[in-house]
Amino acid sequence: MQAPADPEQAAASMNICNHGVYFATDQRVPKGVMIQVHLKMPREVVGDDVTEWCFTGRVAHVEPLGSTNDKLGVGVQFLYYEVPRASL
């Protein structure tokens, strides 16, 4: 995940579909901000050697994950994506 002018942060997705992704993070992400999400996709899913897709999306919701946990659940709605070409 990467918000403009912020460093990259690693996060594991908890749920993903063709419209968006939901993940846990300890970084505060404001609702409505545009972020880039880089997803590593296995060959079994995409059918070729492209391993990472870059999605641009809008943070649709942010919620605490448990009362004793500092992690937040972040839902991102995908707006568009780029697929880098596989190297030759």
Query: pLDDT tens across 29-70, in order?
Result: 999 999 999 888 777 776 776 678 899 999 999 999 987 778
User: Between residues 56 and 26, which one has the greater pLDDT?
Assistant: 56
Q: Indicate the average pLDDT of the chain.
A: 83
* Contacts by residues 46-54 (CB-CB < 8 Å, ≥ 24 positions apart): 48/86, 49/86, 49/87, 50/83, 50/84, 50/85, 50/86, 52/84, 53/81, 53/82, 53/83, 53/84, 54/81, 54/82, 54/83, 54/84
Cα Dmax for the chain: 49
Mean pLDDT check: name the lowest of 20-29, 66-75, 78-87. 78-87
| In the predicted structure, residue 80 carries a pLDDT above the cut 90 | yes
| In the predicted structure, residue 85 carries a pLDDT above the cut 70 | no
